[in-house]
Amino acid sequence: MEIKDIKRIAELMKANDLTEFALVNDNFELAIKRGSDEPQVVYAAPAAAAPVAAPAAAPAAGAPAAAPAEAADENAGLIEIPSPIVGTFYRKPAPDADNFAEVGMEVSEDTVVCIVEAMKVMNEIKADVKGVIKKILVDEASPVQYGQPLFLVEPK
């Protein structure tokens, strides 16, 4: 199953107000549960015990809250490129390679902008939008959650 298929399932769940979805195949198992605004995706390797999904990280206590009005004005009109899976974010294919994407770079729908590693599998993430990258929101080798914004793109 490809990432775009999983995205489509999540969109259909949201559109139809479904809270759970499960699919079992000879090669994989996919279970998605929605209990909040974001669905949680749990992947299981074939013939292995089902992994327990890690809870979403809570914001650090005492962390200053960002001014939402200022952030909204600053990011108005920009499109988010979200993480389609839970994993670890990488901006380049190898430690000694160049980054896939930089601020100011033009991207198209098929441009690979990063990799998210999940269960030792490197998943290339495509922009799915045509425009110019304005912000990179995640640091190298940081954990990311499903639906977490990775980049902000000004559409063209």
Q: Which residue has the higher pLDDT, 18 or 111?
A: 111
Per-residue pLDDT for 107 more than 80? yes
Residue 57 and residue 60: Cα distance in Å, rounded? 9
Instruction: For residues 136 and 85, state if they share a domain.
Output: yes
Q: Residues 33-75: pLDDT tens digits? A: 776 555 555 555 555 444 555 555 555 555 455 555 555 667 8
50 within domain boundaries:
no
- Is 83's pLDDT higher than 60? yes
Q: Tell me how crowded residue 152 is: count the other CB atoms within 10 A of its CB.
A: 20
Task: Give me the pLDDT at residue 40, please.
Answer: 53
- 35 and 98 both lie in a single domain: no
* Exposure on the CB side of residue 64, measured as CA atoms within 13 A: 2
CATH of the domain at 100: 2.40.50.100
pLDDT of residue 133: 96
27 domain residue, yes or no: yes
**Which residue range forms the structural domain that includes residue 25?**
3-44
Residue-level pLDDT at 116: 95
C-alpha 72/C-alpha 156 separation (Å) is: 20
Task: Look at residue 115 and tell me whether its pLDDT is greater than 70.
Answer: yes
Query: What SS3 state is found at 11?
Result: helix
Please state the domain count of the chain.
2
Mean pLDDT, the chain, integer = 80
